[in-house]
């Protein structure tokens, strides 16, 4: 029996650069603009989402 589908939980982390990553192992390119990293994260999540998934990338407070 094969394992079930991999869950895709995408997060965006802030630092000197902003980077998106996923629990499946995908890591986006470090970006200077948070909006670009978020767009890549959204695209990845939508590409691999199953029919019942909801993609929600809330703005989280930036680390000081």
What is the residue-wise DSSP string for the chain? ----PPP--EEEE-SSSBEEEETTS-BPPPBSSHHHHHHHHHHHHHHH--TT-----PPPPPP-
Tens digit of pLDDT for each residue in 22-35? 888 899 999 999 99
Q: By the 8 A CB rule, do 59 and 47 touch? A: no
* For residue 14, pLDDT beyond 70: yes
pTM metric for this prediction: 0.65
* For residue 19, pLDDT beyond 70: yes
Mean pLDDT computed over 12-23:
89
């Amino acid at each position: 029996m094969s394992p079930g589908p991999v869950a895709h939980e995408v997060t965006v982390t802030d630092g000197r650069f902003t980077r998106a990553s996923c629990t499946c192992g995908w890591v986006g390119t470090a970006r200077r603009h948070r909006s670009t990293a978020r767009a890549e994260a959204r695209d990845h999540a939508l590409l691999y989402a199953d029919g019942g998934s909801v993609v929600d990338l809330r703005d989280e407070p930036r680390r000081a």
